[in-house]
Structure 1
Amino acid sequence: MATLRISLRAGERIFVNGAVLKVDRKTTLEFLNDVTFLLESHVMQADQAKTPMRQLYFIVQMMLMDPNTIDAARELFEKTYPVMLKTYSNRDIIDGLLEVQELIDRGRSFEALKRIRVMIPIEDRIIGESDDASSNVTEFQPPMRLAAGA
């Protein structure tokens, strides 16, 4: 395995295997083995998950950030994912969702997050294309409320 180096600015946080680390000065972390991490700039807060794609991002993010709740997050993903497939008619989003499911099934949550990030602007354009967004995306109700702990 190749060494992975991450540079952080003073005060920046990184989420590593469920732990939150905050650095007090500019520093470089060197990961010598496999690790699951998210940079603070890629973390979505619960109140930002206002669209279906952002809600899916939030769910997958929870799989990465807190290994203790991965089963609950995975269960929520399994309930949300089929609803989302039926919600969209846009081919790019449907193909992206199929790829996200495959990545999740292979335990590649980080890559799934990256794929979802690509679809968020597509969803934004679809929702903004018409005053009646229901022509492209129907109203989405998640199976349960999302909450995040600090």
Structure 2
Amino acid sequence: MTLRISLRNGEPVIVNGAVLRAVGRTDLVVENDATILRGRDVMKPEEATSPARQLYFACMMAYIDPADLSRHQQVLLARLEGLMTALETTEAKAVCIRFAQKVATGQFYNALADCRWLIGYESDALSRLEQPAGISAPVAQPAAETAAAG
């Protein structure tokens, strides 16, 4: 399966654990199986500031660091359990279940899309909580899943 990746000038990409950086606008064609994560999909540890973001970070680490997969899976399960307990809507719980199914079959990259949905859901829920009393905030839909690369 061939995967075409377009990178902007200076954009990093992780390929099988190695960090590469584009010099100028660059198109890459990957012609075999590889673990690939574009820089825009990479989360730094200090950005994992909420339960959904911590779940994303743990999933990302399981994807890009298979040598320590067992430890990353333990963190993933703990984060997922905590998030499932806190979520109230059936839609959000269904996304968590879909996420868990992908993780169970090693589809970590695809599971990141579910995490992005959960981050949007969490962000919308928190913004509604932060509204001053008596002011009704419009109910926003969680951010749509971003298309999986390639």
Query: Shorter-chain TM-score category?
Result: 0.7 to 0.9
Residue 130 of structure 1, CA deviation? 2.1
| Separation in 1, partners of 2:26, 2:46 | 30
Residue 131 of structure 1, CA deviation? 4.3
| Separation in 2, partners of 1:128, 1:27 | 38
Aligned to 2:67: 68
Unaligned 5+ residue runs, structure 1? 133-150
Aligned to 1:34: 33
Question: What TM-score, normalized by structure 2, do the two folds share?
Answer: 0.81
Q: Equivalent residues in 2 for 1:55-94 (5 A)?
A: 55-94=54-93
Instruction: Count the aligned residue pairs.
Output: 131
| Separation in 2, partners of 1:56, 1:114 | 12
| Separation in 2, partners of 1:81, 1:44 | 17
Residue 45 of structure 1, CA deviation? 1.1
| Separation in 2, partners of 1:8, 1:83 | 36
| Separation in 2, partners of 1:80, 1:115 | 14
Identity among equivalent positions (%) equals 31
Which residue type is aligned with residue 92 of structure 1?
E
1:14 aligns with 2:7: no
1:17/1:67 contact within 8 Å kept: no
Unaligned 5+ residue runs, structure 2? 132-150
Aligned to 1:118: 117
| Separation in 2, partners of 1:71, 1:43 | 20
Question: What TM-score, normalized by structure 1, do the two folds share?
Answer: 0.81
